[in-house]
Structure 1
Amino acid sequence: MKRTIFILLLFFGSVVTGDDYRIHERSNLWETIWDNGKIGGEVSPSETNPSMDWPGGPPGIDELSQRSYLKMGGVWIGGKNEKDSIFFDECGPYATGQEGALNTWTTHSMGIERIENFNGSSDFDPGEGEEIIISKWTTKNGITVTRKSMVWSYPGKRWGLRPGYNNFIVTDYIFKNTGDTDGNGISDIERNYQDVFFGFCYLIQPSSQDKLLHGWGSGYLDADDVVRYDSTRALLYAYDSISQAAGGASFDYGNLYEGEIRTPGYAGFAKLYSDPSTDGSPQPHTVFYAQSIERTYTLLQMGKRNLYYILSGDSASIYMPEENCWLAPFLLQGYGPYSLEMGDSVHIVIVEAVHGISPQTCLGGSGSQQYLKDGHKYLTRSVDKANEIFNNNYYLEDYPPPAPDIVEIEPIPREGELLVPLVLTWDDSFDDYVDPATGIQDLEGYKVYRSDYYYIGPYVELASIPKEDPDFYDSYTGRYTFPDTTVELGHGYFYAVVAFDSSGNESGKTNRNIEAVYAIRPPSTQLDVKVAPNPFKRVSGWTTTGDEYKLMFYNLPLKCTIRIFTISGDLVREIHHDDPNSGCEFWDQFTDSRMRVSSGVYLYSVESDIGSTNGTILIIK
């Protein structure tokens, strides 16, 4: 194996967007898979998709809240034809501008599909992933690639120490010399290739959360990313360290932001399998990690010959950067050499994985930074779990029961209670679940988890409910009902209901609500309107992410109009409230023209059919 470590730059032209994509969102690790070979990356400047997001979600997340570890990934294919001429096909992550033409993309899509194979479904195949994405494309040199990526939702029994199968993506590649150059399924050329190498390229960027801390440009923030190679696992990975650009500031380690560590993960990819090479050399043949520029300051192009020699491990000659160009890791594994005559194929399986300290530990602030290094052993254990499931042909010895679909989460008023409990309801469709590995009907019950912070957690267990417990189960309707009476006014909550079996296995939290649900009070029949917090001092005190600047009006009548004014009488915001179940309404401190208000005293009025009232709000920032 040829291993090269460089702290230099690769310069490439602009990235070309693929035609179509599907998203893995079943496990903790979310990823965008494209039909042209690319992995991750943005859809457009205005649309953000998962890109090695860990923990992933929720759908539609904004870039600054996204826990992304990847700028982009893809596949390189290079070799020689019968005339000993070099060819090079790029299937992401760049368009290199080969042969003098900018944005040259050398693939043709042949389709992509996402398949749900969820545990508990009537046609569940235990020898496959729970979520499968199959993409297929061909290159201008007639090599057709079929990529099958798979994920599982099954968690471990103890975070990091006994990890499950939900922190990695297994990706199976078949490279075949079909002679099809345009994706129509018909052979256009007949060529035999030698010294063929297949490369897997990842621009792993653990420091994307630096944008929150420093507002730095995307190149500057990557100066603290560290790359390492674990030869025993063929694992190439990166993690966030302390930035020299920030003067070695301690808050930059793990990207500590407002008491939360935002970048706890160690992210990488490793070999699970590769066909024997022509010369019998150990695989991967090439391990190369350098520093790749994310923003193009000067358009420099690398020809196919240079790229092929990097892929084959015969060269590390790459362009030097301009001064003051900050860096993002470029990680490459090359497999080969292979002979690829017409009809021949090569099989390679890669695992992409991320793991680190738990969301609960991340909220420990600077006191938790000492545990960040544990992410390395958590990552290696996850890669070991991927090897385990691959070597067992994707079968498990014991499957956790599937999580039920939560039918609804809604506030249900109770007579005489000022605070409305949130009630979860789910059906009993999996009560008779039979483990496909053991043949045993072993579902024992359900656990209710809640987070008052964010969709990704941390979650705490609220209740463990035995199967068909009459306190929670209605045999007539076939539904379970759990009232959460511990909610607090104004706080938002995320819930998950998991099933557990007699061995202690739990299902994944696959049924979480995407948006927070709120504890409320019922409408008031008297005008005793209150605002909280008042005064507002810097942040609201609500624990739910995104609610830091919200104020809540409560004790509202079921239908009313709230108007907020400056002290001089200018209208700032008008809010119409009409809810028969809630006497609460939030104000996010934005004006009607979507401008954030400044510190000061504000007046409000509430007008309704039962009368009018007014008051003041003091905002201190």
Structure 2
Amino acid sequence: MKYRTNLFFILVVILLTNSIIVFPQIESSSLIFNRGKLWQTIQFGKVGPQFSNWTQRGIGLDWPGFDASLISDNIGGQASHLVSGGLIVGAKWTQDSILSVEEWSIYAGSVAEGAGAKYRVKTHRRVYPNGANHWLQSNPNAGEEVIETIWEYNTDYTDEFQIKRMLPIRVRRTSHQWSGSKADENYIIHEYIIKNISPEIKSIVPPMRFVADTLFDFYAVINYGIHSNSRSWSVLFPSLSPGARNTQFFYNSARRLLYGRAADYPETPGLNEDFGYSPAFGPTINGRPTGEYLAPAFAGIKLLYSSPDKNGILSNVVRYGWSAASNSIDLSGPLTNIGSLEAQYDFVKDIRLAANFVSSSTDTVFMTRSRMWSLMQLGPYNILPGDSIRIVIAEIVDGVDYKQAIDPQNNPVNIINRDTRNSFFASADRAQQTFDNGFNHTDPPAAPDFVVDYNRESQAVANIIKWNNDKELIPDPDNGNPDLVGYILYRSDFLPIGPWIAIDTITKGDMNYLEGNNYTYVDSLVTIGQRYYYALTSFDTQGLETSIFANRLQIPFTATLPPKDNLEDILVVPNPFVIGEGFSQPGEQDKIQFVNLPNPCTIRIYTVRGDLVKTIDVKEGDGAIVSWDQVTDFGQFVESGIYIFHAEFNGGTKIGKFAIVR
């Protein structure tokens, strides 16, 4: 009996050990940074979503990051600035013989799981799962979110001709995002360690299998499909192919920084689309939109560091430029019409051989007229067996505060250009500083979670915001001392990206708001039925503040009243409803509200012929107001006409009428 028990225990330990070692190493083929202001997709061998002719297939340098599916109105989708990116690498196995060229920036098809992969993924995981390093509480010398990806030469791989032209390397890419600090949420850093593992491989494979030793003249090309903003392009040019063509690119040699922004599209004379300007967007005031810059940011890539090349030059950008893609079909980016191995290697050796190469920002043939791939060429390196090289890249998107973007009357293009450029350069410099300091820098204190509720204690309209003081006890990761000084409460009545208005500052321990361990703030300057987004930040003795975007509501809260205890006072507002006269908030223009409701209750909406079009179940705790977007239970908008509502509560009923004019 004892023997069986011990055997069972051993089997359990083995199973647990195997599950710990194997399964968490590859979480998914795509992992996403979606906290803070800059969002990104991290795939096996590349960054950005799946590439499909510049169609936006997911998150790709979304700034400001938000889930567009949560907004029922069409605002152009997410604000993505990237379709795909990463490295293209190649090397020789002798001074005169090309070994391989690998594309890890558009499709990265050679990097995958399983025996059939040319380069097998060994690790693709979050280093600090479940927010373990938020506010840098686990490791101040890393991002708050870190994704580690490792892929390497697959000893099981065989190709059709048994040539096995493979780079004997292991690539370790570590991606860092700082999402909790307002000063650091606009860049992401990718560190690539590329190691020659030919001795390891030769110890495993049969002796007759060819494995290269030294990698001669190894080149790396940083290749990114950056464009100005997918949201802007889809709004302004919905009939044209996806992928913004109106991106004006620049290069800053002192910063090793390649970047672009939305410019005026020369194919539309008489219109100025600088920074994605649209007169039809922005908040509606007195029945008219204010106008909005839909792409108020610069986006770019910066070389933070690269190992000394074989000429001994550190962080050397040999060449930079752009490859203009077809505006109809782009399947291969800068490698278009470059088919042979020799031609591909010639490209990584000299990017001027890229398809439709553009060397200058002043180009008038392709610049601001075409979809463009941004290129930086590094190398050559000779990588000896067991040696490695290091390449560190920053992705950066930054621009003006959203308050400026929706106020074009007071912020003409020259002001937007100046302020956007200044913010972008500040984030680029901050990324360099972060890297130079070993990924460590001064950070703000942690921000607490918060909840929003309606005023349950009186009939006065107010939103109640509550949070705990537990974050005040968290020490600064650098000096070990708690340094939280206070909180700033923000509100937006437009979108989850703003404009954010600071409605109050609450100092730590203020007894006007603190009772026990909990703070309570009463926001009484709200309008009944209006939806509001909230964010809560913390700041320290140096004035460093946390990110609004890392601690905000993504689903707005409707200002309401405590529920009634009867059906007598139910009203429909507006009544009649006239299209275009609803709330100015995106997604709210079609909303009809039922007010003075009890909880719980059921509302059924019928046509005058008695056809049921919608059933609304009001739950306990929903408050006295619910909205209806005029969409039926079958997913269709209702037509103009007279409608009947039938409300039920606690055995009682109420019947009423309302009109819709669409």
Q: What TM-score, normalized to structure 2? A: 0.79
CA deviation after TM superposition for structure 1 residue 330, in Å: 0.4
Map Cα deviations across residues 115-174 of structure 1 (whole Å, 9 max, x no partner).
Answer: 3353556x5322222221111112542222111111223545xxxxxxx22210111111
**Separation in 2 of the partners of 1:604 and 1:46?**
44
Q: Which residue of 1 aligns with 2:192?
A: 173
Deviation at 1:553, TM superposition (A): 1.3
- Quote the residue 2:271 is aligned against: 249
Counterpart residue identity of residue 584, structure 1 = I
Is 1:617 aligned with 2:659?
yes
Q: Secondary structure at the match of 2:586?
A: coil
Aligned 8 A contact 1:453 1:544 in 2: yes
Does residue 308 in structure 1 map to residue 355 in structure 2? no
Residue 456 of structure 1 deviates from its aligned partner by 1.9
Measure the CA separation in 1 of the matches of 2:331 and 2:66. Answer: 35
Contact 1:136 1:147 (8 Å CA) reproduced: yes
Is 1:212 equivalent to 2:235 in the alignment?
Answer: yes
Partner AA of 1:169 in structure 2: I
CA contact (8 A) 1:138 1:181 kept: no
Residues 122 and 150, structure 2, Cα contact 8 Å, conserved in 1: yes
Aligned residue among 262, 269, 272 for 1:240:
262
- Taking only aligned residues, the RMSD between alpha carbons, in angstroms, comes to 3.3
Residue number in structure 1 paired with 2:215: 193
From the two aligned structures, give the one with the greater helix fraction.
2
What is the deviation of 1:484? Answer: 2.1
* 1:512 partner letter: R
| Cα deviation, residue 538, structure 1 | 3.5
SS in 2 for 1:495: strand
Query: Do 1:274 and 1:283's aligned partners in 2 also have CA atoms closer than 8 Å?
Result: yes
CA distance in 2, matches of 1:185, 1:135: 23
Q: Which residue of 2 aligns with 1:49?
A: 58
**One-letter amino acid matched to 2:587:** G
User: 1:445 Cα shift?
Assistant: 1.9
1:563-611 deviation per Cα after TM superposition (whole angstroms, max 9, x unaligned) = 334466544323233435522221112122212234x223122232333
Q: Secondary structure at the match of 1:311?
A: helix
Q: Which residue of 2 aligns with 1:290?
A: 323
**Contact 2:444–2:545 (CA under 8 A) maintained in structure 1:** yes
Measured after TM superposition, the shift of residue 43 of structure 1 is 11
Equivalent AA in structure 1 for residue 502 of structure 2? E
Q: 1:364 aligns with which of 383, 404, 407?
A: 407
Question: In 1, distance between residues paired with 2:64 and 2:519?
Answer: 29
Quote the residue 2:45 is aligned against. 36
SS at match of 2:353: coil
**Partner in structure 2 of residue 13 of structure 1:** none
- In structure 2, what is the Cα distance between the partners aligned to 1:464 and 1:314? 52
After TM superposition, give the deviation of residue 562 of structure 1 in Å: 2.9
Look up the SS of the partner of 1:373 in the other structure: helix
Map Cα deviations across residues 493-537 of structure 1 (whole Å, 9 max, x no partner).
222221222222222232212211211123332423222233434
Supply the distance in 1 between the matched residues of 2:486 and 2:191 (Cα, whole angstroms): 36
Distance 1:602 1:211, change over 3 A: farther
Structure 1: how far apart are the matches of 2:524 and 2:221? 55
Distance 2:51 2:600 in 1: 42
Contact 2:28 2:124 in 1 (8 A): no
Q: Tell me, in whole angstroms, the C-alpha distance in 2 between the residues paired with 1:556 and 1:479.
A: 30
Letter aligned with residue 611 of structure 1: T
For the pair shown, the structure with the greater C-alpha radius of gyration is 2
> Residues 14-163 of structure 1: matches in 2 within 5 Å?
20-41=29-50, 49-58=58-67, 64-82=76-94, 84-86=96-98, 87-94=100-107, 107-116=119-128, 118=133, 120=135, 123-138=137-152, 140-153=166-179, 155=181
The count of residues paired between Structure 1 and Structure 2 equals 577
The answer to whether structure 1 residue 601 and structure 2 residue 601 are counterparts is no
CA–CA distance in structure 1, aligned partners of residues 58 and 610 of structure 2: 43
User: Could you say what secondary structure the match of 2:48 adopts?
Assistant: coil
Residue of structure 1 equivalent to 2:370 = 327
- Unaligned residue ranges in structure 2 (runs of 5+): 1-26, 111-115, 154-165, 283-291, 358-365
| Alpha carbons of structure 1 residues 295 and 486: separation in structure 2 relative to 1, 3 Å | same
Where 2:473 maps in the other structure, the secondary structure is: coil
- Partner AA of 1:129 in structure 2: G
Q: 1:274 aligns to what?
A: 306
- Change over 3 Å in CA distance of 1:570–1:378 after alignment to 2: same
Q: Provide the C-alpha distance between the structure 1 equivalents of 2:576 and 2:204, rounded to a whole number of angstroms.
A: 68
Instruction: State the identity %.
Output: 27
Structure 1 unaligned spans of 5+: 1-17, 98-103, 157-163
Q: Which residue identity is paired with 1:23?
A: I
- Mean Cα deviation higher: 513-522 or 558-567: 558-567
Secondary structure class of the residue paired with 1:410: strand
Q: Secondary structure at the match of 2:276?
A: coil
Q: Do the aligned residues in 2 keep the contact of 1:540 with 1:550 (CA within 8 Å)?
A: no
Within 5 Å, give how 1:341-380 maps onto structure 2. 341-365=384-408, 367-370=410-413, 371-374=415-418, 375-380=420-425
The separation in 2 between residues aligned to 1:89 and 1:467, in whole angstroms, is 55
- The one-character-per-residue Cα deviations of 1:101-125 (angstroms, maximum 9, x if unpaired) are xxx985431211113353556x532
